[in-house]
Amino acid sequence: MSIQIRLAVAADLAVLVPLFDAYRVFYKQSSDVAAAESFLSERFAAKDSTIFLAENADGLAIGFTQLFPSYSSVAMRRIFVLNDLYVAEAGRRSGAGRALLERAHVYAGGESAVRVSLRTAVDNLRAQKLYDSVGYRRDEVFYAYDFAL
């Protein structure tokens, strides 16, 4: 299957929103298409994330990834947080996830970033296998902590 990866723009909201909503549902959130559209619209307006869209040979949107810029104080360099990666069921096992990761890496490198970081659910074994296969390494030095507000 031929996969095309391209930078998403605000005009892509109609195809991006259902993918984003499905991604959230995958992570056990309630479907909320209106909120998903609002959230993504805000990201495009604020220009505070970069979204890549995966399309199959027929031009059907089958996946996306979203990167948020940040910085490493220790490295004193830019990093990117790959916050979202999702491929719809119809696009799985097509290479779309790998292609999205590769495009994210090229983009981050072009922005002089020192790394791309991500987190995934402990039980998301399929994603972990993909991340391992492209060179991500599980952090065995630091623990991740969150403070809920």
Give the domain CATH number at 57: 3.40.630.30
User: Is the residue at 145 inside a domain?
Assistant: no
The confidence score (pLDDT) of residue 10 equals 97
Residues 6 or more apart whose Cβ sits within 8 Å of residue 56: 1, 2, 3, 4, 62, 91, 94, 96
Rounded distance between C-alpha atoms, residue 136 and residue 147, angstroms: 25
User: Is the residue at 149 inside a domain?
Assistant: no
Predicted TM-score of the model (pTM): 0.94
User: Is the residue at 144 inside a domain?
Assistant: no
Number of domains in the chain: 1
User: Is the residue at 140 inside a domain?
Assistant: no
Mean pLDDT of 126-143: 93
User: Is the residue at 64 inside a domain?
Assistant: yes
pLDDT score of 107 more than 80: yes
User: Is the residue at 104 inside a domain?
Assistant: yes
Cα pseudo-dihedral 84, 110, 114, 108, rounded to 10 = 0
Residue whose structure tokens are 């199959």: 56
Mean of the per-residue pLDDT values of the chain: 95
Query: What is the percentage of the chain residues whose pLDDT exceeds 70?
Result: 99
User: Is the residue at 138 inside a domain?
Assistant: no
Domain range for 125: 4-133
Q: What is the pLDDT of residues 54-104, one digit of tens each?
A: 999 999 999 999 999 999 999 999 999 999 999 999 899 899 999 999 999
User: Is the residue at 105 inside a domain?
Assistant: yes
pLDDT score of 1 more than 90: no
